Amino acid sequence: MTMTLKTSWSIAASSASPLPLRRGEAASLRAFVNENTQKQPPPPPRRRCFQVTHRPPSPLAHKSATRGNQRIILRRREVRGNESSHLPAFLFKVHYSRGYPTVDGTLLISFTAKVWRMLARLPLPQPSRFAFTCRGRLRLATATAAARTLSTAATTTTKAVKMARTALDEVAETGAFDRSPSTFRSSVSRDSSARFPAVPGRYHLYVSFACPWASRCLAYLKLKGLDRAIAFTSVKPIFERTKETDDHMGWVFPATGDEEPGAEPDPFNGAKSVRELYEIASPNYSGKPTVPVLWDKHLKTVVNNESSEIIRMLNTEFNEIADNPGLDLYPPHLQASIDEINEIVYDAINNGVYKCGFAKKQGPYDEAVTKLYEALDRCEEILSKQRYICGNQLTEADVRLFVTLIRFDEVYAVHFKCNKKLIREYPNLFNYTKDIYQLPGISSTVNMEHIRKHYYGSHPSINPLGIIPAGPNIDYNAPHDRQMFGA
Ligand SMILES: N[C@@H](CCC(=O)N[C@@H](CS)C(=O)NCC(=O)O)C(=O)O
């Protein structure tokens, strides 16, 4: 039996097939999806950001099949939208291993088990083209161009999450930047019997000084007094080729400690690139090799690559070995207001500057820049009444806001076109930035040389010649007026 799905590829099943289609299963993938999506309950509220968490192994976890030079791997994952919505999902991965350049496409799709069984039986796609459209709305694309052009769309009951190779690829057809979720989401625990117990010296943080997300973690190492228990290594600031065999550009380590001040060779794995670290942890990894990486030296794996989760662990799980265990940056009485401000700051400011900078069309840029300045105005207003963003106590929300503010006038204003107003034109935001910069240890987490080199030098589609503008060289050690609020 052979059926053609749209024009792109066909589904074949016969008794000779290693995984023959079962009777009663719909004749085409579209029918399967229609059938299953129609039976689904009403969709949960749609969220732009999905957290990916690992579930205990199920019989459906890790299925793979090989045909010729192609290998298809299907893994079950849970995709969590928010507290109330749990979408079943499958990580759908196609890996071309022999005879073609190694190209992985990875998608997370929320399919039912029945559709999953169907997918597991599909003949493998042609390397040149693998795409199908379901009800005109769910589109999966992988194969050669996949790493760059994965597009995503959601039906009422399904959600596809892109897994691209660099942030610059994460632009939807609308021209808007759409950040993909982090993939390693395990936790270090103070419980000594946990898989990742909080033991001094066992974990290492791989960062880039340029990266605001990684810098959150560095700020926590300093504030909590954990820098002796957890060491870190920074990569070089400018993206380079990560492999000879393909053209992926990303974070690389210097060959020696003298090559680039601030950057060091990988002390444990001798990796040339962050990509290599991810491949040690997961040989078929095809997502974005991002920093920060919380690395387990003992199990040689990535524990977690999501900064918002790493900082929560650093706040609570390492207190037995922290020099400053009493500092709680996410105290129970402020959690609701921290969560609320984080949501605004993440979407409109932290990620908002990227949405301005990576937008490929005027509309998404206009939308992002409007939201960005609305949020900055709101923060300015809040900070006219209190020292920190959630009151008169430093919290996680301040660290998260600070890492973007400190980069703003130096890079985002020019490189990401966030030039409507500068941070130094907002009296409260500017003084607040200096206040946090002057907290013990924080200035050592800000390497402006790396920040400027990275942004201006790593995004040729935005700054083709890589020229680094001269200014503005702000003195963040200059006096500020924030003591007027006490504390
Ligand atoms: N959600 C992640 C985002 C991390 C992230 O995007 N890091 C950027 C650096 S600022 C990265 O490593 N990008 C690599 C690339 O685009 O190829 C986190 O907060 O940890």
Q: How far, in Å, from the CA of 136 to the mean position of ligand 1? A: 31
Cα separation, 153 vs 242, in Å, equals 30
Give, as one character, the DSSP assignment of residue 187.
-
Q: What is the DSSP string of 331-359?
A: -GGGHHHHHHHHHHIIIIIITHHHHHHH-
324: Cβ–Cβ under 8 A, 6 or more apart, which residues? Answer: 223, 224, 225
**Tens-digit pLDDT string for the chain (487 aa):** 223 222 222 222 222 233 333 444 434 545 544 554 444 455 444 332 222 223 333 433 344 544 444 444 444 333 333 322 333 333 344 333 333 223 333 333 434 444 544 544 444 333 322 333 222 222 332 322 222 222 222 222 223 333 336 787 778 878 888 887 778 999 999 999 999 999 999 999 999 999 999 999 999 999 999 999 999 999 999 999 999 888 899 999 999 999 999 999 999 999 999 999 999 999 888 889 999 999 999 999 999 999 999 999 999 999 999 999 999 999 999 999 999 999 999 999 999 999 999 999 999 999 999 999 999 999 999 999 999 999 999 999 999 999 999 999 999 999 999 999 999 999 999 999 999 999 999 999 999 999 999 999 999 999 999 999 998 999 999 999 999 998 6
Cα separation, 324 vs 347, in Å, equals 30
* Nearest alpha carbon, ligand 1 atom 1: 306
* Nearest alpha carbon, ligand 1 atom 5: 290
Residue with the two structure tokens 């210097």: 254
Q: How far, in Å, from the CA of 215 to the mean position of ligand 1? A: 11
Nearest-atom number in ligand 1 for the CA of 165 is 17
Q: How far, in Å, from the CA of 178 to the mean position of ligand 1? A: 12
State residue 74's pLDDT score: 44
Nearest-5° angle of CA 425, CA 431, CA 435?
Answer: 150
Tokens of 259: 């090559």
Residue with the two structure tokens 């969220």: 47
CA distances from 156 to 25, 34, 135, 318, 459 (A): 22, 11, 11, 42, 35
Say if residue 197 is exposed, middle or buried (CB neighbours under 10 Å; 0-12, 13-18, 19+).
middle
Q: How far, in Å, from the CA of 234 to the mean position of ligand 1? A: 14
Cα separation, 66 vs 135, in Å, equals 29
Tokens of 258: 């003298």
Q: Phi/psi of residue 19, each to 5°?
A: -130, 75
Residue with the two structure tokens 């013990």: 440
Out of 134, 206, 211, 418, the active site residue is 211
Please say if 346 is a catalytic residue.
Answer: no
State residue 9's pLDDT score: 24
* Nearest alpha carbon, ligand 1 atom 11: 290
Please say if 211 is a catalytic residue.
Answer: yes
CB distance 460 to 420 below 8 Å:
no
State residue 165's pLDDT score: 66
Cα separation, 80 vs 87, in Å, equals 6
Cα separation, 15 vs 125, in Å, equals 19
Cα separation, 123 vs 113, in Å, equals 18
Out of 354, 388, 412, 456, the active site residue is 354
Nearest-atom number in ligand 1 for the CA of 166 is 17
SS3 of residue 483 by DSSP: helix
Strand partners of residue 79: 52, 87
Q: Show the ligand 1 pocket: residues with CB < 6 angstroms.
A: 166-167, 182, 211, 213, 250, 288, 290-292, 305-308
Tokens of 304: 């977690």
Cα separation, 129 vs 9, in Å, equals 8
State residue 100's pLDDT score: 29
Q: How far, in Å, from the CA of 274 to the mean position of ligand 1? A: 11
Sign of the alpha-carbon dihedral angle for 144, 145, 147, 153: negative
145: Cβ–Cβ under 8 A, 6 or more apart, which residues? Answer: none
Q: What is the DSSP string of 285-305?
A: --S---S-EEEETTTTEEEE-
State residue 487's pLDDT score: 67
Sign of the alpha-carbon dihedral angle for 388, 185, 295, 276: negative
SS3 of residue 183 by DSSP: coil
Instruction: Name the residue among 59, 41, 182 with its Cα closest to residue 116.
Output: 59
State residue 168's pLDDT score: 76
CB distance 108 to 19 below 8 Å:
no
Tokens of 359: 């937008």
